[in-house]
Structure formats: structure tokens, C-alpha cells
């Protein structure tokens, strides 16, 4: 199923129809968010995870449809909607429709959003990366997961990392500017290693990642340090809202007038060879962990996810 | 929220972007379908309810995104997907993307679809009906609900009505042909009386419905008769996949070369006056029931629903 050309072989997070880029994400209480998460934050993140998919394709937000379940008296949902609205207003994403349904008593909430963006001059796929391309990450890695860990240790924790966990920022501006030049681009949401592996597989290349070049925020380094363990955490914890782009090696994204404050780091390259990832640090290979990223099991917690349908069991 | 012009004031079931008509429906186990419903039928109906929305706008199916939850070992979902696939193939709706998520153990399934259609020359709204318009229904009413009642009485019941309950047919061909002429059009999914009231409110008219003209199938009449009680049942039970159109009174849809076998009935008219519905039979007014249709409470069963977001509590 789902083998229509518009589906891009399901190797992508989005579908493209005419000049529109369309993506859908669903989040489940107890799987992608937890009862202690503020509902407004859950709403914000549902929008952000969709916008991150659009950003990765260089699309500009055009409209969204919300699938809202109502459980109990609707008080949680009112606060959830305030977060959806805040994100939609922040990123000029009009809410243009959807569906609202009641849940049986006690059922976990399941919330979905279809976001639609207008494609730019070029809509990069996951596939399309070429041996010799430079790999760049837009945004920093691990902040949101580290913020969640702070909250687990202290439910009242307040920090820059907690703020990012609660209100992550999709890289829309940078995505639009980089997409026309990208051979491949996708959002990093499940962990850099897992997502880079997906790009390597889709593009038929080896993705070599230099851990010394990982973009880590000051807040992250202050909280978890910058050693190899911290970098492995940042590259595998997931819940990022960053972009991974395969660019021609001669392109310097600094010349693209990215939005002020954008963090962008050259973290590796694509090489010819059977698809896999390879990590190096200090010039030496780093052994890969068993778990490359967040794999969407219902007994794990990962705040938001974006598995392609092909991942279904 | 959701007040963007593309949302059509949320008085409609669909959003329109460029030349695309976009709709989303979500169904919940225990609310819109029951554990005894065959999973393939649930999948078929999720597609059909979305296609019925496209039919009501005269749009031709272009692509769909599926939001699939996985509960347990995935066996139910495999059968569900076979029904989705059958409907997508039957109506040339390519599945172009979506999301798949795991559910916590024991959680009711929540399944969603965003369907996208290509707009025709005119995309009729719920609003737009004018005093003097003739009201037409495409398709027959009450069949699916009557089929469900047969199944409740005998889980092994087999009949034309049960077939319609399990595999309803969206009125895509007729919708495309009628839409260019319609002042207003919508799908009848929650009961004719409730949906006609919605059209009356959106259009600022009185909707007068002649119960003697209701389109009832032979199977329905055989099962429930054709008296006033049966007609009230057909007009309020919901789970229909019919269309309600407000057409210029001089237009005879028989001249439109509708698909062979299409049932179309002139069931009333729009009149000037404060928005309401009025039912007549044998030339006399019929008292309205308290419940005009299926209102989407989680403790009621109604196989599939399509509430606009504005309906949320």
C-alpha cells in the first residue's frame, strides 16, 4: 500500500501534491507525552513537530487540520488548544479544519495534526544525498531530552533546557533557505544517529558523523558536559527539532543569510559504500550503541515522534 | 481559533487550499465503531466517510494520509488496513503518507484519515442555499443504521442493509456532476434532519422536508416498512453516505447524466425565514423529534461521525 509516487516511496516524512507539502503526526498520551506535561506544551509540540517536517522540506506553513479527542470535561483540551493556538500564531499556520471526537472514559488521548506547507523551488527528499556531500545539522541536539531529564529529577525544574522541552522551535526560516541547495534533507526528531541512518539508507551512502562537531548548546554542556557520553546522549535521545541536510561540499551555508541566531554545524559527510552510519571522534571510530534513537515503543517515553508508515510492524 | 478564510468559518466539513479540497475524520473504538465490527469494514468506512466529504464538494479523490494506531499484536490493524486498501483502490485514492503510533495496552483505537481531492469548477459550501432552492438527496437514507440494528438482533445477520453498513458507497460520481450547479451541498452523515438543519443555519433559510419524498431503498422498506415512524428513523439514525444539495428549482438533475443506478430525490425546498427545519407529510406538518440525528456522545454508538470542530464542547 501507499506506493503512489506522491508518497515518495514512504521514504519521506511528507507527501507532495501540486505545490503543497503535506505531513501528518499523531501523538498518544503515555507514549509521546506524559500526564505531567502541561497540556499547552503538548499542543505547542504537536504543531512544532509538524512544522519541523515542513521546515525539512523548505516549505512555508500554509494551513493545518487538527484531530482533537475530548476526554472528560474538556478542561485539559482547552489548555492543549491554547498551546496549539500559540504555536500556530507564532509560525503563521492557520488552523483550517479538522475533526473533534469524544473518547470513552479513561482512554488515553490521541491527538493528530495534518500540516500543509507551500513548497519552495526545490523540495529535498531523504533520498538524494550523494557521496562527497557535507552533512550539516541546523539547530542544537539533546536540549529537549536533557530538559525532560531535569523535570524527571525535579518536577519543578526551570531552565533553558526545560523551556526547549516545553516549547521547541522548528527551523522554518533556515529550512526554507537551505532547501533549494540541499541534495537531501530531513528533520532530526528521533536522534541524529537513527535519522542519519535513515538518510544513509534512503540515499544509498555511508553517513560519517564527527562527534566532535555536534552542535551542543551552552545549556546542554552546563547540564551534561561535553564528553563522549554526553555527545552520545545528544545524538540518540531524540525529541529534537533540528534539520539534517546533505549539501554540496563547496557550499558554505553562512553565505545563505540564515535567520539571526541560527546554529548550524558541519557534522560529517556522505561517503560511497553500503548504507550505514559511522561515528568518529578525535579521528578514531566510535562504537555505535545498540539503540540509535527513539524507536516508538509504547512502553517507552518519547515526547513526540514521527515514524514513517513503513515502520509499522 | 480556526478562523482563517480557508476554514470557511468552520461551517463546512472541508478546507480549500489552492485547487485542493482537504478533509479529516477521526474514528474511535467504542464511539464510532464497535469491537464486533469487522476490522476491514472499519477501514473501508474510514475511507468512505472521508470520500463522502469530498463527494459533497464535487472534488475528485487525489490522495490520503492515514493516522494508524497499533494496539496489541497488530493483527486487527492488518485486517483494518485491508479494508482501507480495498476502499482506496475502489475509489482511486492513493495513500500518500501518514503516521503510525503505538497505543498503551488496552487503549481504544483512534484512527484518522486526511483525504485530499481536486476541486471541480465550483466547490459548494454548506452556506449558499437560497430561498426557492429545491433540496435534493443523492443516495438512500437509513440503510446502514437499519443494517446495524439487524446485526444487533443477530450478529450473523446477512442482508443488503448489513452490506451497506459494512461497505457504504460514497456518492463521488454524482457529487462531481452536481457540484457545479449546487448553491449549497454537504454530505448527510449524521441524519438528514440534523444535517439539513446545519445547512439551514449556514444558509440562513428554512429547510422544508417532505417526508413522503424521502429516498428509501427496497431493502429498507422490506425491513422497517415505509410509514412515518420508519421515515423518521431514516431521517435521524445517521451513518448515511448520502448528499444533500440545494439546487436552482428549474434544474432537473436527471439531465446531468448521473452514474447509472444513482438514486436522487427531491425531498423539499429552502424557504425564506429564520433558520430552522420543517417537516411535512401528506401536506401536514410533522412534529420534530428531540433528537435530530447523531450528536457524537461517547456513550452512544454511531459508526462514523463527522462533526465540525465548532461542535466541540
Please state the three-class secondary structure of chain A as a single string: CCCCHHHHHHCCCCEEECCEEEEEEEEEECCCECCCCCHHHHHHHHHHHHHHHHHHCCCEEEEEEEEEEECCCCHHHHHHHHHHHHHHHHCCCCEEEEEEEECCCCCCCEEEEEEEEECCCCCCCCCCCCCCCEEEEECCCCHHHHHHHHHHHCCCCCCHHHHHHHCCCCCHHHHHHHHHHCCEEEEECCCHHHHHHHHHHHHCCEEEEEHHHCCCCHHHHHHHCCCHHHHHHHHHCCCCCEEEEEECCCCCHHHHCCCCCCCEEEEEEEECCCCEEEEEECCEEECCCCCCCCCCCCCCCCCCCCCCHHHCC
- Chain B: give the shortest CA distance to residue A283, in Å: 38
When pLDDT is averaged across residues B242-263 and rounded to a whole number, the result is: 96
User: Can you point out the beta strands (E) in B71-183?
Assistant: 95-102, 110-118, 134-138
* Residue B308, pLDDT score: 31
Binary contact (A62, B17; C-beta < 8 A): yes
**Statement: residue A9 has pLDDT above 80:** no
Q: What is the pLDDT of residues A13-50, one digit of tens each?
A: 789 998 999 999 999 999 899 878 999 999 999 999 99
The mean pLDDT value for B233-244 works out to 96
Instruction: Say which CATH class A134-289 falls into.
Output: alpha beta
**Three-state secondary-structure class, residue B219:** helix
The listed CATH number (1.10.357.10, 3.40.30.10, 3.40.50.300, 3.30.1330.10) that belongs to domain B5-118: 3.30.1330.10
In A, which residues are within 8 Å of B13 by CB distance?
97
Q: How confident is the model at residue A4 (pLDDT cuts 50, 70, 90)?
A: low
Interface check B27 vs A, CB under 8 A: yes
Per the DSSP assignment, residues forming a β-bridge with A67 are A99, A112
β partners of residue A27: A111
B134-285: which CATH topology?
Phosphoribosyl-aminoimidazole Synthetase; Chain A, domain 2 (3.90.650)
Selecting from B22, B81, B311 the residue whose C-beta is nearest the C-beta of A100 gives B311
Nearest chain B residue to A28, by CA: B103
**pLDDT band, very low/low/confident/very high, at A3 (cuts 50, 70, 90):** very low
This prediction has a pTM of: 0.88
Instruction: Report pLDDT for B260.
Output: 94
Q: 3-class SS at B287?
A: coil
For chain B, the 3-state helix, strand and coil shares in percent, each to the nearest 5, are 35, 25, 40
C-alpha pair distances (Å), B206 with each of A41, B129, B197, B269: 44, 10, 8, 8
pLDDT number for residue B91: 96
| Residue B95 in contact with partner chain A when CB distance is under 8 A | yes
Residue limits of CATH 3.30.1330.10 in chain B: 5-118
pLDDT value of position A100: 92
A111 vs B254, more confident:
A111
Residues β-bridged to residue A276: A206
Is it the case that residue A298 has pLDDT exceeding 90? no
Give the residue range(s) of CATH 3.90.650.10 domains in chain B. Answer: 134-285
pLDDT (0 to 100) of residue B225: 97
Measured CA to CA, the distance from residue A107 to residue B8 in angstroms comes to 32
Instruction: State the alpha helices, DSSP H only, in B210-287.
Output: 218-224, 228-236
3-state secondary structure of B268: strand
Neighboring chain A residues of B312 at a CB cutoff of 8 Å: 68, 70, 74, 77, 100
**What are the backbone dihedrals phi and psi of residue B85, each rounded to the nearest 5 degrees, phi first?**
-65, -40
B63: chain A residues, CB-CB within 8 Å: 4, 6, 15, 17, 22
Q: Does B131 touch chain A (CB under 8 A)?
A: no
For residues A96 and B17, the answer to whether their CB atoms sit within 8 Å is: yes
Interchain contact, B103 vs A15, CB within 8 Å: no
Which of B108, B87, B93, B70 lies closest to B23 in space, CA to CA? Answer: B93
Q: For residue range B98-139, what is the model confidence (pLDDT) as tens digits? A: 999 999 999 999 999 999 999 999 999 999 999 999 999 999
A35 has a chain B CB within 8 A of its CB: no
**A206-210 vs A276-281, strand pairing mode:** parallel
Look at residue A181 and tell me whether its pLDDT is greater than 80: yes
ipTM higher than threshold 0.90: no
Q: Does A116 touch chain B (CB under 8 A)?
A: yes
Per-window interface: A 185-244 vs B, CB < 8 A: none
* pLDDT of amino acid A313: 27
Amino acid at each position: 500500500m501507499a506506493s503512489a509516487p506522491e508518497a515518495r516511496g514512504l521514504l519521506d516524512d511528507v507527501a507532495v501534491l501540486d505545490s503543497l507539502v503535506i505531513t501528518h503526526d499523531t501523538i498518544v498520551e503515555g507514549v509521546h507525552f506524559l500526564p505531567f506535561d502541561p497540556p499547552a506544551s503538548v499542543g505547542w509540540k504537536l504543531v512544532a513537530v509538524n512544522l519541523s517536517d515542513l521546515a525539512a522540506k523548505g516549505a512555508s506553513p500554509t494551513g493545518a487540520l487538527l484531530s482533537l479527542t475530548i476526554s472528560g470535561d474538556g478542561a485539559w483540551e482547552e489548555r492543549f488548544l491554547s498551546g496549539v493556538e500559540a504555536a500556530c500564531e507564532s509560525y503563521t499556520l492557520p488552523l483550517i479544519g479538522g475533526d473533534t471526537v469524544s473518547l470513552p472514559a479513561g482512554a488515553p488521548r490521541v491527538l493528530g495534526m495534518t500540516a500543509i506547507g507551500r513548497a519552495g523551488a526545490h523540495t529535498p527528499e531523504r533520498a538524494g544525498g550523494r557521496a562527497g556531500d557535507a552533512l550539516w545539522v541546523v539547530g542544537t541536539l539533546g536540549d529537549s531530552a536533557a530538559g525532560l531529564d531535569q523535570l524527571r529529577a525535579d518536577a519543578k525544574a526551570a531552565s533553558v533546557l526545560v523551556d526547549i522541552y516545553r516549547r521547541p522551535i522548528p527551523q522554518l526560516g533556515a529550512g526554507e533557505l537551505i532547501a533549494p541547495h540541499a541534495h537531501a534533507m530531513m528533520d532530526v526528531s528521533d536522534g541524529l544517529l537513527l535519522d542519519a541512518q535513515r538518510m544513509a539508507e534512503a540515499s544509498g551512502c555511508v553517513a560519517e558523523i564527527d562527534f566532535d562537531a555536534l552542535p551542543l548548546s551552552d545549556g546542554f554542556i552546563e547540564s551534561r558536559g561535553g564528553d563522549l557520553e554526553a555527545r552520545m546522549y545528544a545524538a540518540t535521545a531524540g525529541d529534537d527539532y533540528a534539520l539534517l541536510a546533505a549539501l554540496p561540499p563547496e557550499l558554505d551555508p553562512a553565505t545563505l543569510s540564515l535567520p539571526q541566531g541560527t546554529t548550524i554545524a558541519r557534522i560529517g559527510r556522505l561517503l560511497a559504500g553500503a548504507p550505514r552510519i559511522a561515528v568518529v571522534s578525535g579521528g578514531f571510530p566510535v562504537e555505535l550503541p545498540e539503540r540509535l534513537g527513539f524507536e516508538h515503543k509504547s512502553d517507552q517515553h518519547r515526547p513526540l515522534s514521527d515514524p514513517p508508515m513503513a515502520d509499522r510492524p
